[in-house]
Structure 1
Amino acid sequence: MIAEHFRLGRVVACRPVATGVMNLNWRVTTDRGDFAVKRVTDRPPEAFRAAQRILPGLAERGFPVPAPRWTGEGSALLQINGFRYAVSEWLPGAHPSGSGLDPAACGLLGDLAGRLHLALAELCPAAPAVLPDRPADADRTRAELRRYAGLAARRDDRFDRLAGAEIERRLVLLDTAAGQRPPDADVTPCGWTHGDLQPLNLLMDRGRVTGVLDWDRLGVRPFGLEVLRTVTIMFSAGGRTALDLERSAAFVRAYRARVPITADQLVDAADRRWWALATETWPLKRHYDDGDDRCDQLFTTRSTFLHWWSRHRAGVRTMLVEASGR
């Protein structure tokens, strides 16, 4: 039915894609080529359609984005049995491993991020240059963590034991770092961003980027947030290892060659990102309140990286300052 509505041709093979967290994906091969089929579950339809509409403009500017397919009725989404599906062309390449990239390739990714932000500013509606940021309150976070600790204690599977132990560590961290909450502030520079630039949404082949995927989280954010989020995921194996500061610096230097952002703004973004990780409870909400275990692994890897970062905040700040030429 999907192949028929999106006019993909005669289906030869259909294989599930093992990578990914939030949405189910398949590689569909037909007599007309290879296509990516995605079940869209975590974004409102209008937000998804808006993101799809900017992809042709990015392709015209030379960015390797997947060409979306449209149904015969001109829609980017097809609803079947209560689920929404989208289709795009299949792009070549493999998901990069940050530790496997040399500094030149890391710089290539930083340059790509900078060029993307500039191109999105041309293609999307005018965005505010400043956004207010109100970091989470430590006391409210403690209360939420204690509630989830109680839920974990009433069960006894592997995740509950991991969650219980991590919640105890998180409470100790918040007791130690409560005075380090970044102040409420208007953050700049801001603009349109991809929202999830990380290895599972990138494809590379022989040192060049061949795909920038999954535009579901396109939105207006501080540029520093996207930079810090990208490097801390890309160059820590998704939070499983220490952050590779050399590769991160190469990314930051190349980004700054495209987008004017100061060392102070990057350090502020780092502090705000670190605090967001220290106070986030959304993976626990998904597991315990929503009955959704798809993000359980993210909770453990993000927690591991949070504690590494908490011990090495000075080193991360120094890297950002030096990469900014100060």
Structure 2
Amino acid sequence: MTNAHGARRHRIPSDDLAELIKEFGLEDVVDRRHLADRLMNVNWQLATPRGTFALKRIMDVPLDSLRRNLAVLPALAEAGIPVIVPVVGSSGGVVVEVGESGYCLFRWAQGVSMNESSRETTAAAAYSDGKGASTASDGAI
């Protein structure tokens, strides 16, 4: 990957952003910050009149698989499991396709992102204790 390609990868095309603002009813994006910390997808923190959000451009799974995976989050939240539920767009879906990209949006959650090795260590320790695996998120799940 060239530096120019890398820079484009971390940019939200203005047409995509305009469509996402409309689809998710964000009114406007007053500030955005690319989140570069070892994440599988391209992620941004968006500041809007409706609050702060985490926007993900999906790069690691087919969009149909993502839709299936995200569909379970509301049930987990209703069961009292602390998860961030995706924002539903005006079309009724949680994955919005703009051009050749798929995006999803979450309300921002404060926290610290764990690096891969600490995630594996935490999951292994929790499993060996019989408590099940747990992870922390910086809101950009």
Q: What is the TM-score with the length of structure 2 in the denominator?
A: 0.69
2:31 is paired with a residue of what secondary structure? strand
1:238-281 deviations in whole A, cap 9, x for unaligned?
xxxxxxxxxx5x53443x2569xxxxxxxxxxxxxxxxxxxxxx
Provide the residue aligned with 1:55 in structure 2: 73
Q: Percent identity?
A: 30
Q: Give the counterpart letter for 1:53 in structure 2.
A: A
Residue 79 of structure 1 aligns to a residue in which SS?
strand
Offset from partner CA, 1:65-119 (integer Å, 9 cap, x none): 112012111112222221111111111111246xxxxxxxxxxxxxxxxxxxxxx
Pairing of 1:285-324 with structure 2 (within 5 A): none
Partner of 2:105: 87
Match for residue 60 of structure 2 among 42, 46, 52: 42
Q: CA deviation at 1:41?
A: 1.8
Residues 199 and 38 from structure 1, CA distance in 2 versus in 1: closer, same or farther, beyond 3 angstroms?
Answer: farther
The residue that corresponds to 2:84 in the other structure is 66
- The ranges of structure 1 where at least 4 consecutive aligned residues each deviate by more than 4 angstroms after the TM superposition are none
* Cα deviation, residue 42, structure 1: 2.1
**Relative to 1, partners in 2 of residues 1:10 and 1:252: Cα closer, same or farther, differing over 3 Å?**
same
Letter in 2 for 1:79: E
Structure 2: 5+ residue runs without aligned partners? 1-18, 134-141
Aligned twin of 1:251:
126
Conserved 8 A contact 2:126-2:132: no
Q: CA deviation at 1:21?
A: 3.8
Residue 11 of structure 1 aligns with which residue? 29
SS at match of 2:110: coil
60 and 90 in structure 1: CA distance in 2 versus 1, 3 angstrom threshold = same
**Does the 8 A contact of 1:25 with 1:37 survive in 2?**
yes
- For structure 1, the 5+ residue unaligned runs are 98-197, 203-229, 236-247, 260-326
Judging by fraction of residues, say which structure has more strand.
2
Distance 1:37 1:19 in 2: 14
Letter in 2 for 1:57: A
Q: Distance in 2 between matches of 1:38 and 1:258?
A: 27
Q: How many residues align?
A: 115
Label 1:251 to 1:258 Cα distance change in 2 as closer, same or farther (>3 A).
closer
Tell me, what secondary structure is at the counterpart of 1:41? coil
Could you say what secondary structure the match of 1:11 adopts? coil
The structure with more radius of gyration? 1
Conserved in 2, the CA contact under 8 Å of 1:78 and 1:84?
yes
AA partner of residue 103 (structure 2): Y
Q: Please report the TM-score for the alignment, with normalisation by the length of structure 1.
A: 0.32
